[in-house]
Amino acid sequence: MTASNERWMLFGTFILTVLFACFFVLPNYKNAEQATKNAVELEVRIQQLERRQVEVEQMRQDFSSMEAKVKIDCKLVPDSPNTSEIVKALSLDVDGNHVLDQSFTAGSTASKLQQKGGFAIQPLAVTLHADFDSIFSVIENVESMNRLVRISSLRITTKDLDSFGEAPVLEAAIGLHAMYDNGDFQDE
């Protein structure tokens, strides 16, 4: 081969190399650069998502603990007094041994407590002739109810002090206030 042919071959190779670099290497280099930027952005998003998932899990745990606290500490205030529900929850079996007699008396609906958020009160009286454990179980049942019922008064007396061998029969009068929201309160 002659020198002029070699120059044309060298020049042609140079041109092909420049064309190859311009049409294949540079566009792919730009695509690789863009792909690297996208990969970095996606990694940042993944890290943010992982942090968000940890935050959401923490919020879910906080919500569960708050929900449990509300169930323990807060009581429901129904729309109506539901006196029969209270009587059913507090009724004991009259067995003649531990409980001799039990009666419930519902009073007229008292006026609203404007200072307490407009709740109305349904007074209820429970009278028992029973031993102390039975009377105390009624008090515990009031306290463990899932609705807002307040013990407003408690009077326990005994009539038979002469029975030393047996637990004395006590007479208890328990006054209750069952709170409910009938929706008739007015804003002041």
pLDDT (tens digit per residue) in 56-100: 999 999 999 998 888 777 888 888 888 888 888 888 888 878 888
Closest CA to 177 of 136, 142, 134, 138: 142
Interatomic CA distance for residues 120 and 179, integer angstroms:
6
Interatomic CA distance for residues 168 and 157, integer angstroms:
10
What sign for the dihedral angle of Cα 179, 182, 183, 188? negative
SS3 state at 30: helix
Provide the pLDDT for residue 76.
80
Provide the pLDDT for residue 147.
86
Provide the pLDDT for residue 54.
94
Provide the pLDDT for residue 166.
67
Provide the pLDDT for residue 140.
92
Pair of tokens at residue 100: 């001799």
Pair of tokens at residue 187: 């804003």
| Contact between 57 and 51 (Cβ < 8 Å) | no
Provide the pLDDT for residue 188.
41
* Residue 139: CB atoms within 10 Å: 15
Interatomic CA distance for residues 66 and 68, integer angstroms:
5
Write the DSSP symbol of residue 109. P
> Whole-model pTM?
0.58
- Amino acid 149 reads V
Q: Which residue has the tokens 């509300």?
A: 70
**Which residue positions in the chain have pLDDT lower than 70?**
1, 109-117, 160-167, 183-188
Provide the pLDDT for residue 187.
46
Interatomic CA distance for residues 19 and 30, integer angstroms:
16
| Contact between 83 and 178 (Cβ < 8 Å) | yes
Distances 149 to 1, 85, 97, 164, 169 between C-alpha atoms, Å: 112, 12, 28, 36, 26
